[in-house]
Amino acid sequence: MTLNERIGKFYDQSTPLWLEVWGEHMHHGYYENGEVGTKTHTQAQLDLVAEILKWGKVTQASTILDAGCGVGGSARLLAKQFNAKVLAVTLSPVQAANGRRYNEEAGLTEQVTIEAKDMMSLAGTGEKYDLIWSMESAEHIADKQGLLNMFYDLLKPNGRLIMATWCHRKEPPTLEQSEQKLLGKIYELYHLPPMVSIATIEGFARTAGFQAIQSADWSDIVAPFWKAVIQSVFQWRSIKGLLKAGWPTIRGAWAMRYMTSGYQRKIIQFGVFQATKK
């Protein structure tokens, strides 16, 4: 089974449980005080989108690509906020089907299109966008230089890239064996190719041709998310949902302890990026 097939299957099986427990936003939350319990899970996730848009100084966009959209939570939010047309893609047919259902419920079927396809297949299509939004999906792409090259090509002149992705800590010093072991567990259980550092992604963006590149490490304000997820797993409906979802989802839930440890040990970083095509 290819990496893309494994990713698609993982999200096909785990998405129904996530939607039942957490809802339509499938990404970290924003905890400005570093603590869980000061806001609802949904509000924390909405706040993350709002804060990244604020940090990226995104004030308008008519055409948007949501690359790695989950069930389209961000796509619908962006469509409404900017009155934009959005193409959103995911590897999971289950996510795409649920996303289209959410579109209908929100009255956004004319503005938001959700397709089950590999985001890398968009290369060379000729479509151009004002904004490319990539929220916690680039970590699934092995060829990250190719991804940044494609994003650059898909943008209109003066178009913006806003991306958040999982990274490992800065090198040097070289990752120690224990750090590599922890990362290896996360790669295996979440179907990821090896991560890179924030600085490495910045380099890929420069090579692709982007300008005005900025990055930041938001690890401390998103790491509490994993405590919230772990707490939610021990609700009875979540336990039943895990058993129903099957072994791959159970293994994914087990991986949460590695993510928590990775943040605590400063091995994993939550990188956010903004860049412009001139």
Residue extents of the structural domains in the chain: 3-276
Give the pLDDT confidence score for residue 36 in this predicted structure: 84
Give the pLDDT confidence score for residue 123 in this predicted structure: 95
Q: Name 89's bridge partners.
A: 67, 115
Give the pLDDT confidence score for residue 236 in this predicted structure: 45
237 — pLDDT class (breaks 50, 70, 90): low
Tell me what the pLDDT averaged over the chain comes to.
92
CB atoms within 10 A of CB 1: 9
163-177, pLDDT tens digit by residue?
999 999 999 999 999
Q: Which residue type occupies 152?
A: Y
Query: Percentage of residues in the chain with pLDDT exceeding 70?
Result: 92
276 three-class SS: strand
Q: Is domain 3-276 in CATH 3.40.50.150, yes or no?
A: yes
Q: Are 90 and 68 in contact (CB under 8 A)?
A: yes
Residue with tokens 């290369």, as numbered in its chain: 123
Give the pLDDT confidence score for residue 247 in this predicted structure: 47
233 — pLDDT class (breaks 50, 70, 90): low
Say if pTM beats, i.e. exceeds, 0.85.
yes
40 — pLDDT class (breaks 50, 70, 90): confident
Say if residue 52's pLDDT is above 60: yes
Cα(41)–Cα(187) distance, rounded to whole angstroms? Answer: 25
Give the pLDDT confidence score for residue 227 in this predicted structure: 83
